[in-house]
Amino acid sequence: MLIHGAGFRDNKYLNYWGRIPKTLEKHGATLYYGHQDSWGNIKYNASVLKDNLTKILSETNCERVNIIAHSKGGLDARYMISSLGMADKIASLTTIATPHHGSRTIDLLYKLPKWLYKITAFFTNSFFRMLGDKKPDFYAASRQFSTVNMKTFNEQNPDMPPVYYQSYATVMKNPFSDIFLFWTNLFIWLIEGENDGLVTPESATFTNFKGILRGTTRRGISHADAIDMRRKNFTKKASVNGIADIRDVYIDIVSGLKQMGL
């Protein structure tokens, strides 16, 4: 099951995961999607994931699934596993650029006047409701990323056996690496240090941390690159020590889980 992050939906013709799904299917994987809201809060989105997963297990007679989650999707998945009693249905959870420990940048934005935050939330919710969200809650969902809230979240949602957990981080090498994330990367870098345009390695580091994905070029790997948003390789040249194609990362993840018997 592939679980998307905030601000996007699982669309049939504009896939959040770029070329990754077709590549995994060519290698024998059977894929399903979370179909949770773009800006639902963690608790609500987790309930949607649980309902969808229950249907999938019933229809396929499969006992457990492996989850790969990007960004906030990792938090939605963790809540589903730990707080909604789905641990026995999950073989593994792989998180990529998930803000497990929150953001000090969000802590600063938290201090903005509530009326300004709520006006932004109103227009954001209205827009995403038109796109298909059933219960968008930008105000609550975005504020859940504070370091204080995530500390509480981690205490209330510990790792649950027998689920195997692993995590990855990504980083841009400079603000020009991804024009769409130029300002956010620069802003977060000034406050917290290196990041992928939205999440720092410090925040993404969690159980069985597999390292920082940096790529083979001067660009690094942005938050968007991590899900193949550009639909192209980082470089035409293969590399032994770096990543030339983000799809290779996902092939390695799935292959590794298979070798573990998951």
pLDDT at residue 56, rounded to an integer: 94
pLDDT at residue 237, rounded to an integer: 58
How would you write the pLDDT of the chain (262 residues) with one tens digit per residue?
999 999 999 987 789 999 999 999 999 999 999 999 999 999 999 999 999 999 999 999 999 999 999 999 999 999 999 999 999 999 999 999 999 999 999 999 888 888 888 899 999 999 999 999 999 999 999 999 999 999 999 999 999 999 999 999 999 999 999 999 999 999 999 999 999 999 999 999 999 999 999 877 778 899 999 999 988 887 765 554 567 889 999 999 999 999 999 9
Got the DSSP string for the chain? Answer: -EE--TT----SSS-TTTTHHHHHHHTT----B----SS--HHHHHHHHHHHHHHHHHHHT-S-EEEEEETTHHHHHHHHHHHTT-GGGEEEEEEES--TT-BHHHHHHTTS-HHHHHHHHHHHHHHHHHHT-SS--HHHHHHTTBHHHHHHHHHHS---TT-EEEEEEE-BSSGGG-GGGHHHHHHHHHHH-S-SSS--HHHH--TTEEEEE--SSTTB--TTGGGTTT-S-S-SS--SSS-S-HHHHHHHHHHHHHHTT-
Q: Cα–Cα–Cα angle for 41, 62, 77, nearest 5°? A: 20
pLDDT at residue 7, rounded to an integer: 92
pLDDT at residue 117, rounded to an integer: 85
pLDDT at residue 238, rounded to an integer: 53
Alpha carbons 191 and 93: distance in angstroms, whole number = 29
* Chain position carrying tokens 């007679």: 61
pLDDT at residue 240, rounded to an integer: 44
Q: Which two tokens stand for residue 153?
A: 């979240």
pLDDT at residue 244, rounded to an integer: 82
